[in-house]
Structure 1
Amino acid sequence: MTTIAVTGATGHLGRLAIDALLRRGVEPGSIVAAVRTPEKAAGLLARGVQVREADFDRPETLTAAFTGVDRVLLVSTNAVGNRVAQHVAAIQAAKAAGVGFVAYTSVLRADTTPIVLAADHKATEEALAASGLAYSFLRNGWYIENYTAQIPTVRATGAYLGSAGDGRIAGATRADYAEAAAAVLTTGNPKTVYELGGDSPFTMAELAAEVSRQAGVEIGYTDVPAEKLVEILSGAGVPEGFAAVLADTDVHVREHGALDNPGSDLRDLIGRPTTPLAVAVADALKG
């Protein structure tokens, strides 16, 4: 029986990936929730999932967490500036533990995209490719939740702010990406690279119009220069470095289509159309 470990299993994507594995018929006892704080995974433990400590900053816990594991879903961490070292530690631990396959959650066209955010992903991909392990790169596009999470704020302010112009964004829900990861982890012969994005790319103006329609409140999209966006986000409490990353991504959405995706990898993996923007917005409003 194949044993599958999921890192960051108490996070948004990791927890959804475990849900998707269970729906696909993977036995709970064959799933390892690799988490920094096991106490936060009590719900997974109650479902019969194995819970093991896996602290990216303490490599010895990673090796122990991956012992006896056949396949690992390496969910990228959010420790910008330190995550390449964390990812490399996980790759090395997987190899030391005898893991046979690692799927890594990367970003669209990580090897060629100009967005600053991709640098860590590109470095991780290179480390995984050089490790000798079998692998797949799950190059995820933008989460629609990146925008729907802002709905309370935009309802109050009346507008989304950004620097993406009329660039198109092939967004999909976290659940879609998690289901794709589960499909890769349970398939016999996965591809090396998957470029994953939603079926119906949208502009920020189209997003704003959809939220406005469903919320019954006039919401627009205000496009501002990248420098101004950094200033606004920083003033709202976003760390300046991360604000600059978000602005940089918007610029490349506008100028290079950095978050558009003409392929069908996501749809093919999950066996259905990706979640429409209107459904994702409706779910967010219900929540």
Structure 2
Amino acid sequence: MASSYSPPNDRILWVALLLATSLMSAYAGNFYDEFDITWGDGRGKVLNNGELLTLSLDQYSGSGFQSKNEYLFGKIDMQLKLVPGNSAGTVTAYYLRSQESAWDEIDFEFLGNLSGDPYILHTNVFTQGKGNREQQFYLWFDPTADFHTYSILWNPRHILFSVDTTPIREFKNSESIGVPFPKNQPLRIHSSLWNADDWATRGGLVKTDWSQAPFTASYRNFSANACVWSSGKSSCSSNSTSTADNGWLTQELDSTGHERIKWVQQNYMIYNYCTDSKRFPQGLPPECSSSTSS
């Protein structure tokens, strides 16, 4: 697609990305220590001494895992390699969610495809049990051919979704105009692989081909630079927490970040709730007019 901006692949940014990737690998969490397989009757597996986790789906069940820790703000990175081939009908979900009935949630969902068609990356933000803030994207690479890093930066100012360090979506704190923002409930990291062929691919027109099962998604290089919630307190409130280690708590998008988001949304966004006036005949949500959700 034609554009005056291209992804961050010039030499300087490429070197910076290599350095960032190596640092992330060096501090990657061990899946045995950081997560529990929560369902799937053996379809979720931790491998390679805790360095790799896989989820599988067949006609009988999917599978899932969740983090041992809860977090109140953080920068969460995970590398995923999605289900290859004909993954129509499947959904790989990777998200943060609180436990309360009026929950907060920050979503990445990857909607499966027919072989040769692109995956759809579906994002959403729930506050106090209310969502309906979907934005969807195609990716500029094949997410099944190799691992790619999907990141959520969540601080008191905004939520930022990024892919391989390229920001794709920002949801700003706009409580000043009455839009609730996730800031009081600790969130746990979840992921699952499940069958959603009633809606996932072309609105449910394409069903899961179980002859292709088992479907498998893979995870590695988890990293959480985050405030761990324990006994009603955040680790970031400790005086021993270095401000230098938590610069992400006040991080905002710079001009380059805004340019990257604009490039992604101009070239790869396929749905934005903030432009769907048919869905909101009484008027778009207030955050849309204030550019809260970029």
**What TM-score range do you get, normalising by the shorter chain?**
under 0.3
Q: Provide TM-score, normalisation by structure 2.
A: 0.27
Q: Provide TM-score, normalisation by structure 1.
A: 0.27
Q: Which structure features the higher share of helix residues?
A: 1
